[in-house]
Amino acid sequence: MTEIVPILIGDRWVVPDCDAFTPVHRPATGQIIARTPHCGTAQVEVAVQAAKAAFPSWSRTPAPERARVLFRYRELLESHFEELAQIICRENGKTLDEARGDVRRGVEVVELACGVGQLLKGEVLPELATGIDGMATREPVGICAGITPFNFPAMVPMWMYPLAIACGNCFLLKPSEKVPYTANRLAELFLEAGLPAGVLNVVHGSREVVEALCLHPEIAALSFVGSSPVARRVYELAGQTGKRCQAAGGAKNTLLVMPDAVDSGLLGEAAAADSTLKAVLQSAFGCAGQRCMAGSLLLGIADACDDLRDQIAQYDANMYAHSLVHQS
């Protein structure tokens, strides 16, 4: 029987008592490599209580001390960089180069979070009125949550929890049930860097756990990245308990190509090397098109339409899917 993916509560990895699971496939082979448990309100409640217990101490930890944890985390991410990329390849199916880019973009956010001392600066306005000075300070909001998609297993979670944690908040992460191992490994490394128990918790699941996160009254802020229908639902539910919520949905991206951007004499390898065609192909087919920035509609103006159609058709005939053993 395949492994059940554990969840992180405090500093303990536990296998939750769940009745439903999502199979985790290795896209390159179709093999089922694990089962992701469908957590619900019970597991969310335990995770919230762990975060609640950690918040008073973590929120009062001086910013330089929090930054030191993040600096150590950044070094661990670098030393385990290839391992993380391989995990992404295995459970997501990206090429190795794309997986490395996924990790790199996430590490860059951690580097930003290392500068927490600058991020937390407030504002002062002397003599706002006679004898009155105005001052704004930044304070942690409390417990935050993040719900992330399958297409960028490292980058999108790291858009969220490093900055929230750097600012003194505690965090509940719900990664896509299709790619649970990347998030778990990222959390393991954060604990290894010295993050106190309960500051970061990881729960897995599907609809029930998402709704539990949206509706829990002690979660103060929530970020979501995924499809537009789910984004609307998350935003609606989060509003019922007055959460700060940002919900990013999908996109329909149009590529507009002018006639002078296409060389009609290019075909085959020469066309593939052309900067315009290369940009179009990378936008449409990079990460197998599974990204919100993918070009999904191409408009060629005047002669560019016929030229691009012929070039793309010839190039597309030679495209194929391959596994992580290929470097690009």
Spatial distance between the Cα atoms of 113 and 45, rounded to a whole number of angstroms: 28
Token pair for 154 = 């490292």
Cα dihedral 197, 198, 204, 207 in deg (nearest 10)? 180
Q: Which of 89, 214, 245, 292 is catalytic?
A: 292
Concatenating the DSSP letter of every residue in 201-217 gives EE---SHHHHHHHHH-T
Q: For this structure, is 292 an active site residue? A: yes
Spatial distance between the Cα atoms of 305 and 299, rounded to a whole number of angstroms: 7
Name the 3-class secondary structure at 201.
Answer: strand
Angle among Cα 63, 67, 68 to the nearest 5 degrees reads 120
Token pair for 278 = 């290369």
Spatial distance between the Cα atoms of 262 and 136, rounded to a whole number of angstroms: 53
Residue type, 200: L
Q: Which residues are catalytic?
A: 292
